[in-house]
Amino acid sequence: MLLQVSDLSKSYGVTPILSRITFQILERERVGLVGVNGAGKSTLLQMIAGEISPDSGTIYKAKETKIGYLAQNSGLNSDRTIIEEMREVFRPLIDAEQELRQLEVAIADPALLSDEKRYEDTLARYAERSEWFRSQGGFEMDTRIKSVLHGMGFGDFDHATPISTLSGGQRTRLALARMLLQAPDLLMLDEPTNHLDIETLTWLESYLRGYSGSILIVSHDRYFLDALATSIIEIERHAAKRYTGNYSRYIDLKAAEYESQLKQYEKQQDEIAKMEQFIQRNIVRASTTKRAQSRRKALDKLDRLDKPLGDLKKAHFSFEIERQTGKDVLQTESMSVAFEGSPKPLFKDISFRLERGETVALVGPNGIGKSTLLKALIGRQPLADGTYRWGTHVKIGFYDQEQATLNGSNTVLEEVWSAFPGLEEARIRTVLGNFLFSGDDVQKIVSSLSGGEKARVALTKLMLDKANVLILDEPTNHLDLFSKEVLESALLDYDGTLLFISHDRYFLNRMAERIVELTPDGCQHFLGNYDDMIEKKQELAELAAQAAEMAGTKPGKAAAVPVETASSSYEADKQAKRDERNRQRKLEQLEAEIAELEEAIGALETELTDPDVFNDYVRIQSIQSAIDAKRAALAAVYEQWETLVG
Q: Could you tell me if 127 and 265 lie in one domain?
A: no
- pLDDT digits 0-9 by tens, 566-577: 344 445 555 666
Cβ neighbours for 613, distance < 8 A, ≥ 6 positions apart: 607, 619, 620, 623
In a domain, 419, yes or no: yes
424: which DSSP letter? -
3-state secondary structure of 265: helix
Same domain membership, residue 470 and residue 333: yes
pLDDT for 360 equals: 93
- pLDDT above 90: residue 595: no
Q: Are residues 273 and 145 in the same domain?
A: no
Question: Does an H or E element contain 499, and which?
Answer: strand 497-501
Average pLDDT over residues 603-627: 77
Cα separation values, 298 from 276, 291, 322, Å: 11, 11, 62
Q: By percentage, how much of the chain surpasses pLDDT 70?
A: 94
- The whole-number average pLDDT for the span 68-77 is 81
pLDDT bracket for residue 232 (50, 70, 90): very high
* The predicted structure's pLDDT at residue 132: 92
Q: Does any domain span residue 22?
A: no
SS (H, E, C) 312-331: CCCCCCCCCCCCCCCCEEEE
**Mean pLDDT over all residues of the chain?**
84
Q: Strand, helix or coil at 19?
A: strand
In this structure, the answer to whether residues 489 and 606 fall within a common structural domain is no
- Give the residue with greater pLDDT, 87 vs 194: 87
pLDDT in tens, 395-416: 999 998 888 888 888 888 888 8
Among residues 486, 512, 528, the one where a domain terminates is: 528
**Each residue's pLDDT tens digit, 123-180:** 898 899 899 989 888 888 889 899 999 888 888 888 888 888 887 778 888 888 999 9
568 or 339: which carries more pLDDT confidence? 339
Rounded Cα distance between 519 and 13, Å, is 51
Q: What would you report as the CA-atom Rg of the chain, rounded to the nearest whole angstrom?
A: 32
pLDDT value, residue 578: 65
Alpha helix (H) residue ranges in 210-343: 222-228, 247-282, 289-301
pTM of the predicted protein model: 0.72
Using CA atoms, how far apart are residues 71 and 78, in angstroms rounded to an integer? Answer: 17
User: What pLDDT is recorded for position 554?
Assistant: 54
- Mean pLDDT check: name the lowest of 85-89, 241-245, 447-451: 447-451
Question: Is residue 29 domain-resident?
Answer: no
* Residue 625 CB burial class (10 angstroms; 0-12, 13-18, ≥19): exposed
333 and 291 in a single domain? The answer is: no
CATH of the domain at 436: 3.40.50.300
376 and 493 together in one domain: yes
**Of 495, 513, 528, at which residue does a domain stop?**
528
CA contacts within 13 A on the Cβ side of 595: 6
Is the model's pLDDT at 204 over the cut of 80? yes
**Contact call for residues 600 and 634 (beta carbons, < 8 A):** no
**What's the pLDDT at 570?**
47
pLDDT band at 471 (very low <50, low <70, confident <90, very high): very high
Same domain, 346 and 385: yes
Q: Could you tell me which of 157, 153, 187, 158 has the C-alpha nearest to residue 172? A: 153
Query: Do 263 and 409 belong together in one domain?
Result: no
Residues 588 and 630 grouped into a single domain: yes
Q: Is residue 105 part of a domain?
A: yes
Query: Does some domain include residue 43?
Result: no
The tens digit of pLDDT for each residue in 287-296 reads: 678 888 888 8
Strand 214-218 to 186-190 pairing: parallel
pLDDT at 573: 58
**563 has a pLDDT exceeding 60:** no
Alpha helices in 161-221 (DSSP H): 168-182, 198-209
140 half-sphere exposure, CB direction, 13 A CA radius? 8
Quick one: pLDDT band at residue 559, thresholds 50, 70, 90?
Answer: very low
> Quick one: three-class SS letters along 362-415?
EECCCCCCHHHHHHHHCCCCCCCEEEEEECCCCCEEEECCCCCCCCCCCEHHHH
- Do 495 and 522 form a contact (C-beta atoms < 8 A)? no
pLDDT for 273 beyond 70: yes
Residue where a domain terminates, one of 512, 528, 544:
528
Q: How would residue 555 be classed by pLDDT, with cut points 50, 70 and 90?
A: low
| Number of domain units in the chain | 4
The per-residue pLDDT for 562 is 42
For residue 426, pLDDT over 50 is answered with yes
- pLDDT digits 0-9 by tens, 492-539: 989 999 999 998 899 999 999 999 999 888 888 999 899 998 888 888
Q: How far apart are CA 441 and CA 110, in angstroms?
A: 81
Same structural domain, 452 and 358: yes
519 with 616, same domain: the answer is no
pLDDT tens digits, 345-386: 888 888 999 999 999 999 988 888 888 999 999 988 888 889
Q: Which domain holds residue 280?
A: 252-301
pLDDT at 305: 81
**pLDDT value for 575:** 63
> Residue 596 falls within a domain, yes or no?
yes
pLDDT on residue 122: 86
Dump pLDDT digits (tens) for 12-43.
888 888 888 898 988 889 999 998 877 888 88
pLDDT higher than threshold 90 for residue 582: no
- Examine residue 112 and state whether it is found in any structural domain, yes or no: yes
Using CA atoms, how far apart are residues 131 and 154, in angstroms rounded to an integer?
A: 32
- The answer as to whether 259 is a domain residue is yes
136 SS3 class: coil
Pair (485, 609) in one structural domain: no
Q: How many Å apart are CA 333 and CA 518, to the nearest integer?
A: 14
Predicted confidence at residue 107, as pLDDT, reads: 82
User: pLDDT confidence of 392, banded at 50, 70, 90?
Assistant: very high
